[in-house]
Amino acid sequence: MADTSRRALRLLSLLATPRCWSLGELASRLEVSERTVRRDIETLRALDYPVVTVHGPAGGYQLGAGHTLPPLLFDDEQALAIAVALQTAPSSVFGLGEDARRALNTIERVMPARLRTAMESLHVTSLRNHWEFPAPPIGSERLRAAGGAVRHRHLLIVETLRADGTRPAPGDDDFAPARRIEPHHLVVWAGRWYLVSWDVADGGWRVRRLDRLHLHPPTGLPFTPRDLPGGDVARFVMTSHDRGDTSAAWECVGTARLNLPAETVARWAPGGSVVEHLGPDHCRLTIGAWSWAGVAGLLATFDADLDHVTPVELRRACRRLVRRWRAAATGSAPPTPPSSSSVIRYGLAGGVHERPEGG
């Protein structure tokens, strides 16, 4: 019985792949007779697995779309969770891309039409950044509404929320009227969800943080898809400096003007940074870290001239790093260790530790 069960599961795994298997191929893979394969197929059918027979010269057997997925049953919320988890897992764990795609394909093939539509409405693009500081979790209804509009090519009406998630009211200084947009792509990058859309009023492409949008009820109004500039949605999002990002919560947050285009800095700045366009070759970067030396070090990674550095603590950290780097470059003695007054305490897993402020 154990051998029969293992063989049936192996047969089910083969049939779930997107191809048609001849009886001889299945028998060869399972190392049994064709008669045994036929018996195992009837066993799967008796368990409500939709094994279909494809007739013709290139015919054989494959798993079709069924009404149930014995012994598993998924409701709409579970289908949504599976779709999001499998599509975003590669952005946080190495090596899962191909396995996640195969798993999603296998599940979709045996889902009933209603649940398959719910999963397909959330086909997203997932990007990876080495500094990931995620935004607040996105509500499933908001994901479903945005994903459905992207899939069905329906106009959305949106309003921009404040950084704390509140909605400005008419008469508030930051109030802006609702906007009509054509949603084209959902993108996950650095732990944040972004909606790539065409703004009907502005007549241009925009990247918006999904957690910063209030979505009005679905319009059901179709629009004609447009070609994204460059055709690469990943590059478009990563090089767009105006994504609605706000600075992440850090103990130390500093600002500097860099002699680099905003799109270049936006591509490499850590998640939770803010990039402001100042001109074709300049931008302002607001960035945070767990120490002022950390902020200075991150600014130095851009290998560009910079000025207008604030606050004063960041400028002091820059001077300390200059002395250390000069000593390292010349082979001279390192600078004098900081006094005890320069030692700060910070929390890590396992307790409270101490380190020099400039370290």
Model pLDDT for residues 167-222, shown as the tens digit of each residue: 999 999 989 999 999 999 998 877 788 999 999 999 999 999 998 899 999 999 99
Point out the domain boundary residue: 63, 88, 109: 63
- In sign, the C-alpha dihedral spanning 144, 148, 150, 156 is negative
Residues 209 and 164 in one domain: yes
Percent of the chain with pLDDT over 70: 78
As a whole number, the mean pLDDT across the chain is 81
In this prediction, residue 93 has a pLDDT band, given cuts at 50, 70 and 90, of very low
Point out the domain boundary residue: 186, 211, 238: 238
pLDDT score for 9:
78
Residues 284 and 339 in one domain: yes
Residue 55 tokens, joined:
């007739």
pLDDT score for 252:
93
- Say whether the peptide bond before residue 71 is cis (omega within 30 degrees of 0): yes
Range of the domain at 94: 76-120
Residues 234 and 257 in one domain: no
pLDDT score for 6:
76
Residues 93 and 153 in one domain: no
Q: Would residue 303 be called left, alpha or beta, if left means φ above 0 and alpha means ψ between -120 and 50 degrees?
A: left
Whether 94 is covered by a domain: the verdict is yes
Residues 347 and 257 in one domain: yes
pLDDT score for 88:
67
Whether 358 is covered by a domain: the verdict is no
Residues 167 and 103 in one domain: no
First-last CA distance in the chain: 64
Whether 343 is covered by a domain: the verdict is yes
Whether 128 is covered by a domain: the verdict is no
pLDDT score for 15:
82
pLDDT score for 87:
72
CATH number for the domain harbouring residue 16 = 1.10.10.10
Residue with tokens 């059901």: 220
Whether 127 is covered by a domain: the verdict is no
Residues 264 and 348 in one domain: yes
CATH number for the domain harbouring residue 274 = 3.30.70.250
In this prediction, residue 312 has a pLDDT band, given cuts at 50, 70 and 90, of very high
Whether 296 is covered by a domain: the verdict is yes
Between 16 and 232, whose confidence is greater?
232
Residues 146 and 111 in one domain: no
Model pLDDT for residues 124-156, shown as the tens digit of each residue: 676 655 455 556 677 778 888 898 999 999 999
Q: Strand order in 274-279's β-sheet? A: 274-279, 282-289, 252-258, 306-310
Buried b (16+ CB within 10 A) or exposed e, 291-312: bbbbbbebbeebebebeebeee
Point out the domain boundary residue: 40, 63, 86: 63
- What's the average model confidence in pLDDT over 237-256? 86
- What's the average model confidence in pLDDT over 313-325? 94
pLDDT score for 319:
94
Residues 234 and 150 in one domain: yes
Residues 282 and 349 in one domain: yes
Residues 148 and 201 in one domain: yes
pTM attached to this predicted model: 0.59
Whether 129 is covered by a domain: the verdict is no
**Spatial distance between the Cα atoms of 53 and 63, rounded to a whole number of angstroms:** 9
Whether 273 is covered by a domain: the verdict is yes
> For the chain, how many structural domains are there in total?
4
Residues 58 and 147 in one domain: no
- Residue 338 class from Cβ within 10 Å (0-12 exposed, 13-18 middle, 19+ buried)? middle
